[in-house]
Amino acid sequence: MKKDILETIGNTPLVRLTRAIEDAPFNLFAKLEAFNPGGSIKDRAALSIMKHALDNGLIEKGTTVIESSSGNMGIGLAQTCAYLGLHFICVIDPKTTKQNIEILQAYGAEIDLIIEPDKVTGEFLHARLNRVKVLLEEIPGSFCPDQYSNEYNAKAHELTMHEIVTELDRKVDYLFCATSTCGTLRGCSDYLRKQYLKTTVIAVDAVGSVIFKNESAMRLIPGHGAAVSPPLFRPGLAHACVHVSDGECVVGCRRLVTREAILAGGSSGAILMAIEKMKRDIPRDANCVAILADRGERYLDTIYSDEWVRKHFGDISHLWQQAEEFQTTAGGTDRTQGQPLTLIQLK
Ligand SMILES: Cc1ncc(COP(=O)(O)O)c(C=O)c1O
């Protein structure tokens, strides 16, 4: 029996995937973070940050918590704040989906909507962060979890990695991890280093994200990728980085649901396609772990809508429906967007 809902965060299942990648000579396992009560891996970060803040007197009864988030972190914080009885203001922009706004409100969060992008950079992210600063000044004793730079975001994932390592008897040869604040990557990587494990860590980022110093570009799928370089990032956290386009994310997600019956979010599809690109480099019998960050329900109007997919990428359904099309796109061009594929070796 669990003491309360927050105690159900973590200890998510590790599931064997046998169909998602054709002809894989290695063992593939998925860490299903969708099983967290708020539906994503960010429940862990939200709980870790809030617990540290409570234990250290940074928050107390009556504190208002303020964060900029349009998705999973906002929901994770809304959940933790609801349980702790704290007022939570979530600063969002017009790109936040109706469904996410409704989930946030259902948990009791106050929505603060920014309607104009930042005048200098043209980015909504900067406008949201500026609004958080204003609110923090206006509301006495308020607290910002600051997921982009809070070490307790990363520390939460030392435990995520511990769960994986324990379940696989320390034999984890490859870890694939999507990146945004880099909390997951940093925490997992720190744990592996402290445990003297030789796991090869692969970061999976979005085409158009600036984390690994690539050029900024418009992205359609939220979750992974970032428009700013996150302070939690450090060179050397990953051995290599694979960049995945929006179209490939769709293909990866659709393969996961048609082949493994796993309805997962965009970054999970990105991870599957990153493994597909690297599959010839992964040795036979290696244990390969993919951290799948969230549930697919939040993407029903996009990734899982045939109409939306056709509008943005044309008719690409053969890429997840037909076995003969089940070829890796590695070394060629991205058939969903015509972009060159990018695999950056970091070490
Ligand atoms: C769906 C999804 N995947 C991946 C990530 C990246 O996680 P992190 O912020 O720990 O880098 C996020 C972060 O919000 C996410 O929502």
CA 323 to centroid of ligand 1, rounded, Å: 30
Are both 165 and 68 inside the same structural domain? no
What does the buried/exposed string (b/e) look like for 46-81 if buried means 16 or more CB atoms within 10 Å of the residue's CB?
Answer: bbbbbebbeeeeebeeebbbbbbbbbbbbbbbbbbb
Q: Which two tokens stand for residue 125?
A: 């992210």
The predicted model gives 271-277 an average pLDDT of 98
- 174/335 Cα distance (integer angstroms): 26
Q: Which pLDDT does position 333 carry in this prediction?
A: 40
Residue where one domain finishes, among candidates 104, 138, 172: 138
Answer whether residue 49 is part of any domain: no
Range of the domain at 225: 5-36+151-337
Task: Look over the chain and give the mean of its residue pLDDT values, rounded to a whole number.
Answer: 92
Q: Is pLDDT above 50 for 339? A: no
The predicted model gives 26-37 an average pLDDT of 98
Answer whether residue 143 is part of any domain: no
pLDDT band at 91 (very low <50, low <70, confident <90, very high): very high
Q: Position of tokens 């969230």?
A: 294
Are both 13 and 162 inside the same structural domain? yes
Are both 270 and 325 inside the same structural domain? yes
Number of alpha carbons in the 13 Å side-chain half-sphere of residue 302: 21
Answer whether residue 347 is part of any domain: no
Q: Is 256 helix (H, G, I), strand (E, B) or coil?
A: helix
Ligand 1 atom at minimal distance to the Cα of residue 178: 4
Answer whether residue 54 is part of any domain: no
Answer whether residue 343 is part of any domain: no
Are both 272 and 303 inside the same structural domain? yes
pLDDT digits (tens, 9 = 90+) for 164-203: 999 999 999 999 999 999 999 999 999 999 999 999 999 9
Residue where one domain finishes, among candidates 82, 103, 138: 138
Are both 307 and 214 inside the same structural domain? yes
Are both 200 and 277 inside the same structural domain? yes
Are both 81 and 181 inside the same structural domain? no
pLDDT band at 242 (very low <50, low <70, confident <90, very high): very high
Q: Position of tokens 């970091």?
A: 346
The predicted model gives 20-45 an average pLDDT of 97
What are residue 27's phi and psi, to 5 degrees?
Answer: -90, 125
Answer whether residue 330 is part of any domain: yes
pLDDT digits (tens, 9 = 90+) for 305-322: 999 999 999 999 999 986
- 224/274 Cα distance (integer angstroms): 13
| Closest residue to atom 13 of ligand 1, CA basis | 223
| Closest residue to atom 16 of ligand 1, CA basis | 223
Are both 329 and 183 inside the same structural domain? yes
Q: Is pLDDT above 80 for 334? A: no
Q: Which pLDDT does position 77 carry in this prediction?
A: 98
Pocket of ligand 1 from Cβ distances under 6 Å? 40, 42, 71-73, 178-185, 223-224, 265, 267, 293-294
- 216/70 Cα distance (integer angstroms): 19
Residue where one domain finishes, among candidates 110, 138, 166: 138
Q: Which pLDDT does position 324 carry in this prediction?
A: 40
pLDDT digits (tens, 9 = 90+) for 213-227: 888 888 899 999 988
From the list 113, 115, 68, 59, the residue with the least C-alpha distance to 87 is 59
CATH number at residue 15: 3.40.50.1100
Are both 160 and 262 inside the same structural domain? yes
Q: How many domains are contained in the chain?
A: 2
Q: Which pLDDT does position 70 carry in this prediction?
A: 76
Are both 115 and 163 inside the same structural domain? no
Are both 283 and 315 inside the same structural domain? yes
Answer whether residue 328 is part of any domain: yes
- 337/347 Cα distance (integer angstroms): 28
Are both 189 and 111 inside the same structural domain? no
Among 123-127, 182-186, 336-340, top mean pLDDT goes to 182-186
Q: Which pLDDT does position 19 carry in this prediction?
A: 97
Answer whether residue 26 is part of any domain: yes
